[in-house]
Amino acid sequence: MADSPAGFIRTQFNRFVLGGYRPLQSVGECVQSLFYLHNELFNILSHGLPILFFAKYATDDQTWSQISYSWLAYLNYAACLSPHLGSVAYHLFMNHRSGAWAYFRLLKLDMCGVWAVQTFGALTTIYATFYCNKLLQASMMTIYILVSSWTLYEAVHATSVYKRMCSFAVQVAIRLLTLLVRLSPLGYGNPYSTKHTFLMDAIAISGGVINLLRVPERFWPGKFDYFLNSHNIMHIMTTIGVFHMHWGAVGDIIWASQYQCNV
């Protein structure tokens, strides 16, 4: 399926994915589609399985128990879960028989999940990077939250994949600026977390570009209908990026709980 300016749904959301589409279905039939092969099954499972990890194992981890008192830890937890929850709902029920009405609302829910991971996930990095300059720390976090509010509006009202990607550009720019400050003598934060901060965005953005370019199915239409098309690859890279975000956030939160600024 694909959104269009006219507001209707086409049966084919990727013109290079030729088969494996489900018909319009009821809620129960959409759930039953978890048990047979179709071209959305990989998308559902690749974001559904990480939910089980973050819902169970992340909270049982010894490192997590050290930071569970922190409000930043709860933001990070929400950031880890949100994109996967929104994505699973979107891909599982996108072919609901309600048609365009259901599809576009599920798409907005998916965008809210993407927004949540980029918004909540970055706050820990900003907090740690400007840790010993409380005025600048508060200013940067406030600016990022305000920019993120505008981003959310743009993302849920975008009418194409390209416009949805562009709606997050200012957020990415602020995170890049934060990373540059972090690498400079003016920045703070756990050195261990810096590489994860970089990899989080580098991997996720690369996945988004692959999805936008429709690679590799563009070159072999119909050969990647079920596995390893551009959207599948983006899902894998997004999940890897979320893990890097989680590892980086855990390191920063533990560092912030122990570091003493020279005032």
Indicate the SS3 state at residue 227: coil
Report the alpha-carbon distance of residue 227 to residue 215 in Å, rounded.
12
Report the alpha-carbon distance of residue 154 to residue 122 in Å, rounded.
19
Residues flagged as binding site: 91, 231, 235
Place of tokens 């006219």: 6
For 249: left if phi > 0, alpha if psi spans -120 to 50, otherwise beta; the answer is alpha
Closest CA to 109 of 81, 78, 87, 134: 87
| Surface-to-core class of residue 220, CB atoms within 10 Å of its CB (0-12 exposed, 13-18 middle, 19+ buried) | exposed
Report the alpha-carbon distance of residue 147 to residue 145 in Å, rounded.
5
DSSP alpha helix (H) spans, the chain: 27-32, 41-52, 58-60, 62-67, 71-93, 100-129, 134-157, 161-166, 169-183, 191-213, 230-258
Tokens matching residue 144: 């990022």
Tokens matching residue 67: 């930071």
Residues flagged as binding site for Zn(2+): 91, 231, 235
